[in-house]
Chains A and B, each alone.
Chain A
Amino acid sequence: MEAAFAWIAVVLIVVTSAGLLFAHDWRWSIILLALQYLGMFILTLQHWPIGMASVKVVAGWMSAAILGMTRSGLANEPQTDETIWPRGRMFRLFATVTVVLIAAVATPAVDTVMADAGFPVTNGSLLLIGMGLLHLGISSELLRVAIALMTVVSGFEVLYAAVEGSVLVAALLAVINLGLALVGSYLLIAATPRETEST
């Protein structure tokens, strides 16, 4: 039963991380990020007690809320040089399929190295890391960069939870997640052009 839940979480992660790559509306991005943290929580539950695992989902949802609230408060689009990056849907679909395939192929080997963390845990983690790196590689928009970094870090957290159960590490990783969201918000505000006040 637990394994079935874990595989459902992996499917959820595939959908959300791919959705983050395709979403143009920031609202969808925030919703997908929050759902992604839910998937991550289920995978972390495979190795951690619910009390500790819930730290990850709470910190993740708070981070998503911080980014969402900041973006909703910005009237103008933040300045980016997004036009130079690949935008085609077919390209993104091809890249997503490539990452999913690489994650599937690498899972058994990585699982052996990571003290038999479990196939769903390893696969979900590699998917998050791969999709996050892909996102970082094809986007320079600040909200997307923040979300992509949070995706990479959450992928690592899932894998690391299988081998490290320290409360201090859980707390510091939660602080880093919140810190990434706060830094992302700070940069978003700084990058938004301000309307000139007319007197």
Chain B
Amino acid sequence: MNLNAPTLWIIIPMALGFLLLFISNQRLLSIFGGLVALALALIAQFVPTEIALRVGPLSLRVASDLIVLGRALVIPPTEGSLLALIYGAAALWFFGAEAARSATRLVPLGFMVIGLMVASIAVEPFLYAALFIEMAILLAIPMLTSIHRPPGRGVVRFLIYQTLAMPFILLAGWLLAGVEGSPGDVGLTAQSAAMLGLGFAFLLAIFPLYSWIPVLVEENSPYIVGFLLWILPTITIIFGAGFLDRYAWLRSSPELIVALRSVGLLMVVTGGAFAAFQRHLGRIMAYGSIVETGFSLLALSLDFRLGIPILFLLIPARALGLAVWSLSLTVIKENVETMRFGAARGILRVTPLAGAGMIVATLSTGAFPLLAGFPSRLALWEGLSRVSIGASLWMAIGIIGLLTSAFRSLAVISMADEYTTWTPRESPTQMTMLGLGILGLFILGLFPQTVQFFLADLPLMFEQLGR
């Protein structure tokens, strides 16, 4: 029996997502979606592609490519661990969707978005990825907004900014091919680098183009926004690393490394500083995700043999941290009028686990010791300090900003009037998912080697980087 990897990890999830649109049972969607995503993750990790397997009387071979309209979708065996990581994290988000009461939108459309994002990594030539990412962005709109509620400014800005990225990246890809042909043409090199920079600035919401993120979290379900803030930048960064892998002149350009470091620090410092002064719990998460993107860019600016493993180490912490953070905010949002500090005062006595989850996730993003984000940030900090002490100090400022926001949030949510009784209103599902999530953040922090199983081979997906 012959199967192919693109059908298994792109077409089937997308078709399944479409079929799930017709199911409205939150629990069924959440459990079924989570199990399917988990199964896809396990297959990706344990069933090798391009090797014939004998299962009883059957011989099974998963081919790595699929030809569509003259172009190929290719998932080589080296990308198995990445798929396992993506679908494993997707399972986590889908299992939590029932607790966030957003399974009807998150699971079906989430499968389609993930399918398209995987297609963006698989498509050859790889610069066509921008087209698949744009299609995922378009699918994200109905995920974010309900047809029964007017869309806010954040959704419209999200659509505009992300759509503007596609032309820049496609044109940059074409120009880069020209640069390869005539490497001495400084003008063409500058033009292609500028195009590429602009494209990724829009796509990754680089400063100052991230204004839509806080507005989006404020106006929409934090859980759904959290999901998008996980999947979109994660895959986009890998796509961006693909550019570095393919073009030697780009990889060896000292200006690009300085630009990546500067932009990464700008994201970390501004994100951390803005988070420290926010008075809205949702906006703090938005700035936290901006800081996370900054960390990824900083990892790319290091020596690739060190930076690429750190880049992959950042992924599980980001997925789990954002899942716990956004689920906590969703639960808190159900119990307060707004997520502003004034309205959320003393909410810890109503949603204790959600409050704890929010604080632990913020601390984890802020590199608090023994939490999931700590090992990757420590490695990043150490690597950065070897290159530039100044840069590592700027990174510390961003981290201090995030930690400040965590302690301010803790003060606000625990500041109840005297003699106020504890009246928890979290459902058993919410308590279970939040409890498991918080536990996961501690386990990833205490035993970071648990994810090494998935991460060890990931740099092999690049031909040049990280080797």
Inter-subunit contact A173/B160 (CB<8 Å) = no
A100: interface (CB < 8 Å):
no
New A-B pairs, 18, CB < 8 Å, besides A172-B132, A183-B138: A142-B156, A145-B159, A145-B160, A149-B163, A153-B166, A156-B166, A159-B171, A160-B170, A160-B174, A166-B128, A169-B131, A176-B134, A176-B166, A183-B142, A183-B159, A186-B142, A187-B141, A190-B147
C-alpha spacing A163/B139, complex, angstroms: 28
Inter-subunit contact B135/A190 (CB<8 Å) = no
A171: interface (CB < 8 Å):
yes
Inter-subunit contact B70/A166 (CB<8 Å) = yes
Inter-subunit contact A172/B128 (CB<8 Å) = yes
- A150, chain B: closest CB distance, angstroms: 10
B151: interface (CB < 8 Å):
yes
- A6, chain B: closest CB distance, angstroms: 21
Q: A139-161 CB contact bits vs B (8 Å, 1 = yes)? A: 01010010001001100100110
- What B residues does A153 contact at CB under 8 A? 163, 166-167
Partner-B contacts on A (CB < 8 A): 79, 113, 129, 136, 140, 142, 145, 149, 152-153, 156, 159-160, 163-164, 166-169, 171-173, 175-176, 179-180, 182-183, 186-187, 189-191, 193
List 22 contacting pairs A-B, 8 Å CB cutoff, sorted by A: A140-B153, A142-B151, A142-B156, A145-B156, A149-B163, A152-B164, A153-B167, A156-B167, A156-B170, A164-B170, A166-B69, A166-B70, A166-B128, A167-B69, A168-B71, A172-B132, A176-B135, A180-B163, A182-B138, A186-B147, A187-B156, A189-B147
Inter-subunit contact A187/B160 (CB<8 Å) = no
B390: interface (CB < 8 Å):
no
- What B residues does A142 contact at CB under 8 A? 151, 156
C-alpha spacing A173/B134, complex, angstroms: 10
- What A residues does B69 contact at CB under 8 A? 166-168, 171
Give chain B's interface secondary structure class. helix
C-alpha spacing A19/B196, complex, angstroms: 32
Inter-subunit contact B167/A152 (CB<8 Å) = yes
- What A residues does B142 contact at CB under 8 A? 183, 186
B186: interface (CB < 8 Å):
no
C-alpha spacing A193/B166, complex, angstroms: 32
C-alpha spacing A24/B339, complex, angstroms: 38
With contacts A166-B70, A169-B128, A183-B138 taken as known, whether A149 is within 8 angstroms of B175 at the C-beta atoms is no
- What B residues does A190 contact at CB under 8 A? 145-151
Among residues of B, the one whose C-beta sits closest to the C-beta of A146 is B159
- What B residues does A183 contact at CB under 8 A? 138, 141-142, 159
| Residues in B115-165 with C-beta less than 8 Å from chain A | 128, 131-132, 134-135, 138-139, 141-142, 145-151, 153, 155-156, 159-160, 163-164
- B128, chain A: closest CB distance, angstroms: 7
B188: interface (CB < 8 Å):
yes
C-alpha spacing A129/B198, complex, angstroms: 15
The interface size of chain B toward A, counting residues with CB under 8 Å, comes to 35
Most chain A CB atoms below 10 A, which of B71, B132, B149, B188: B71
- What A residues does B147 contact at CB under 8 A? 186, 189-190
C-alpha spacing A187/B71, complex, angstroms: 33
- What A residues does B148 contact at CB under 8 A? 190
B191: interface (CB < 8 Å):
yes
- What A residues does B175 contact at CB under 8 A? 113
Q: B175-203 CB contact bits vs A (8 Å, 1 = yes)? A: 10000000000001001000000000000
Among residues of B, the one whose C-beta sits closest to the C-beta of A140 is B156
B55: interface (CB < 8 Å):
no
C-alpha spacing A135/B160, complex, angstroms: 12
Inter-subunit contact B151/A191 (CB<8 Å) = yes
- What A residues does B150 contact at CB under 8 A? 79, 190-191, 193
B58: interface (CB < 8 Å):
no
| Residues in B57-81 with C-beta less than 8 Å from chain A | 68-71
C-alpha spacing A175/B68, complex, angstroms: 15
Among residues of A, the one whose C-beta sits closest to the C-beta of B153 is A140
Give chain A's interface secondary structure class. helix
C-alpha spacing A159/B171, complex, angstroms: 9
- A34, chain B: closest CB distance, angstroms: 21
C-alpha spacing A160/B130, complex, angstroms: 13
Among residues of B, the one whose C-beta sits closest to the C-beta of A175 is B135
C-alpha spacing A164/B177, complex, angstroms: 12
C-alpha spacing A136/B159, complex, angstroms: 12
- What B residues does A187 contact at CB under 8 A? 141, 145, 151, 155-156
Inter-subunit contact A113/B191 (CB<8 Å) = yes
- B466, chain A: closest CB distance, angstroms: 30
Most chain A CB atoms below 10 A, which of B68, B141, B188: B141
- A182, chain B: closest CB distance, angstroms: 8
Q: Lowest 10 A-B CB distances belong to which pairs?
A: A156-B167, A179-B138, A168-B69, A172-B131, A168-B71, A191-B150, A167-B69, A183-B141, A187-B151, A190-B147
- B69, chain A: closest CB distance, angstroms: 4
With contacts A113-B188, A173-B131 taken as known, whether A149 is within 8 angstroms of B155 at the C-beta atoms is no
- What A residues does B160 contact at CB under 8 A? 136, 145, 149
C-alpha spacing A175/B137, complex, angstroms: 13
C-alpha spacing A180/B160, complex, angstroms: 10
C-alpha spacing A189/B175, complex, angstroms: 40
Among residues of A, the one whose C-beta sits closest to the C-beta of B191 is A113
With contacts A113-B188, A113-B191, A187-B151 taken as known, whether A168 is within 8 angstroms of B68 at the C-beta atoms is yes
C-alpha spacing A172/B153, complex, angstroms: 27
C-alpha spacing A168/B119, complex, angstroms: 13
C-alpha spacing A180/B174, complex, angstroms: 24
C-alpha spacing A167/B131, complex, angstroms: 13
Among residues of A, the one whose C-beta sits closest to the C-beta of B145 is A190
Inter-subunit contact A166/B71 (CB<8 Å) = yes
With contacts A187-B145, A190-B148 taken as known, whether A176 is within 8 angstroms of B131 at the C-beta atoms is yes
- What B residues does A129 contact at CB under 8 A? 167
With contacts A113-B188, A172-B131, A190-B149 taken as known, whether A163 is within 8 angstroms of B159 at the C-beta atoms is no
C-alpha spacing A183/B156, complex, angstroms: 10
- What A residues does B139 contact at CB under 8 A? 179
